[in-house]
Amino acid sequence: MHLEEKIAPVRHGMRAAARPVITGSSHSFPDTRTSQDDLWKEFFLEHYDGFPLARRIFENSGISSRSTAVDPRAERAVSGWSTGQRMERYIEEAVPLGKRTVSAALQSAGLDPSDVGMLAVASCTGYTTPGLDLRLADELGMSSKVQRLFIGHMGCYAAVPSLGAVSDYVASRGRPAVLLCLELTSLHVQPPTQDIEQIVAHALFADAAAAVVLEPDAGSGYEVIDVVAVTDHSTADLMSWQITDLGFKMGLSPRVPDVLAQHVGEVVRDQLLAPHGLTPEEVTGWAVHPGGKRILEVVGERLELPAGALDASYGVLDECGNCSSPTVLMVLERLPRTEGPVVAMAFGPGLTLYAALLRRS
């Protein structure tokens, strides 16, 4: 019997693709919460030796408070920790934070950990083997047969392609899946410098975890309709995340908003919305990753969004900072529960822009 004849009956017996729907969500923070002003006065003022430009960057960040796993005011030697020390602390902090977040998301969806067919974890701020995904599956009491996926080193935009991956699983397998995005950027405070890119990174980034639960053909929630992406390879050096002997070091060029301005209109209008017969004016909710104030301004300008369309993004930036991959999911949670199309969008290294079309029902 030919191979085609052997697999044909399996093909004919395959179920129709299910609709992947977000039915539960949650986010969590480490215990330490501080104001931006206190972080500056009580640590970074001395760290940067009163550098006037550093002060202005912190003051103009659009952030009033942040949560961190490592409080540099209490652990002042953090900038000198080896990468090994930082990775040990990562797993110590990430497991309980991830467990708490996934448990709450499952509870909001009315599911038990044993119901989950796939657990996906996205993180770029720490690594361990056995991985965080495996450790969490065990801690949560998931089945030994649960499929696991770890998505690493994609940075701030990781939530959107990860959402696409778990959506494909739910659609093809007809089983629930969980996506967890967890970042602990506070582990990677770098030694003192007058490098503007490092100062901006320290002024913006914070720690958080966010999780979503997807179920097949659920009656209400955000249905995942489509995911699109574009990468401008000519500007790949504008955002970077490099492993060094002293943790992970970020490169963040001030040119990033200008590059995003060149692509965001085409990606959203032409790639994401037009194939579904939609225009930006018909979108009822915008979950845009708040990489910084200027990035949100560029998105609003290029898509000609009405006043207030990005309030959820500005609110998360103000109250939580840029938490890397969990942030866009946190914004999505804040959107008003109105029916209709919703766009979730995030940006990161590459320079890469990812966008997802959701529909609230």
Q: From residue 305, how far is each of 129, 131, 264, 296, 309 by CA, in Å?
A: 44, 41, 12, 11, 6
The catalytic site residues sit at: 156
**Lateral strand order in the sheet of 222-231:** 147-152, 118-123, 177-184, 207-216, 20-28, 222-231, 352-360, 340-348, 285-288
What is the C-alpha separation between 86 and 67, in angstroms, rounded? Answer: 17
What is the C-alpha separation between 197 and 55, in angstroms, rounded? Answer: 14
Strands 222-231 and 239-244: unpaired
What is the C-alpha separation between 60 and 310, in angstroms, rounded? Answer: 18
Cβ 102 vs Cβ 176: under 8 Å: no
Cβ 348 vs Cβ 307: under 8 Å: no
SS3 117: coil
Phi, psi of 66 (to 5 degrees): -150, 160
Residue 178 in tokens: 């969980």
Specify the amino acid at residue 361.
S
Cβ 104 vs Cβ 28: under 8 Å: yes
Residue-by-residue DSSP string for 67-115: EESS-TTT-TTGGG--HHHHHHHHHHHHHHHHHHHHHHHHHHHT--GGG
